[in-house]
Amino acid sequence: MDGICHRPVTQPDSMTKTRVLTGITTTGTPHLGNYVGAIKPAIAASQDPSVQSYYFLADLHALIKCQDPGRVQESRLEIAATWLALGLDTDNAIFYRQSDVPEITELTWMLSCVCAKGLMNRAHAYKAAVAENEAAGNQDPDKGITMGLFGYPVLMAADILMFNAHKVPVGRDQIQHIEMARDIAGRFNHLFKGDYFSLPEAVVDDRVAVLGGLDGRKMSKSYNNTIPLFVSEKKLLKLVRKIKTNSLEPGEPKEPEGCTLFQIYSAFATVEESAALRREYQNGIGWGEAKTRVFEYLNEQLREPRERYQALMEDPGHIEQVLLKGAERARAEAVPFLDRLRQAVGLGRFV
Ligand code: TRP
**Residues 128-181: tens digit of each pLDDT:** 999 999 999 999 999 999 999 999 999 999 999 999 999 999 988 899 999 999
pLDDT band at 11 (very low <50, low <70, confident <90, very high): low
d(CA 30, CA 39): 9
Report CA(43)–ligand 1 centroid distance (Å). 16
pLDDT band at 13 (very low <50, low <70, confident <90, very high): low
Report CA(282)–ligand 1 centroid distance (Å). 41
pLDDT band at 15 (very low <50, low <70, confident <90, very high): low
What's the first-to-final CA gap in the chain, in angstroms?
28
Ligand 1 atom 6: residue of nearest CA: 23
On the question of pLDDT at 1 being above 60, the answer is no
Q: Which of 19, 20, 21, 22 to mutate to test the pocket of ligand 1 (most atoms within 8 A of CB)?
A: 22
Residue ranges, CATH 3.40.50.620, the chain: 2-209+315-345
Atom of ligand 1 at shortest distance to CA of 165? 14
More confident residue, 171 or 26: 26
d(CA 30, CA 221): 9
Per-residue confidence (pLDDT) for residue 9, from 0 to 100:
52
Residue 114, classed as helix, strand or coil, is coil
d(CA 164, CA 199): 8
On the question of pLDDT at 5 being above 60, the answer is no
25 pocket-lining for ligand 1 (C-beta < 6 Å):
yes
Residue ranges, CATH 1.10.240.10, the chain: 221-312
pLDDT digits (tens, 9 = 90+) for 94-128: 999 999 999 999 999 999 999 999 999 999 999 99
Instruction: Please give the C-alpha separations between residue 17 and each of 13, 49, 179, 184, in angstroms, as whole numbers.
Output: 6, 9, 22, 23
Per-residue confidence (pLDDT) for residue 236, from 0 to 100:
97
Residue 228 per-residue DSSP state: B
* Backbone phi and psi for residue 137, each to the nearest 5 degrees, phi listed first: 75, 20
Tell me which of 1.10.240.10, 3.90.1150.10, 1.10.940.10, 1.10.260.40 is the CATH number of domain 221-312: 1.10.240.10
168 pocket-lining for ligand 1 (C-beta < 6 Å):
yes
Reading phi first (left if > 0) and then psi (alpha if -120 to 50, else beta), residue 73 is in alpha
Extended strands (E) in the chain: 18-25, 51-58, 94-97, 167-169, 201-203
Mean pLDDT on 7-13: 54
23 pocket-lining for ligand 1 (C-beta < 6 Å):
yes
The structural architecture, per CATH, of the domain 2-209+315-345 is 3-Layer(aba) Sandwich (3.40)
- Tell me the average pLDDT of the chain: 94
Facing residues of 233 across strands? none
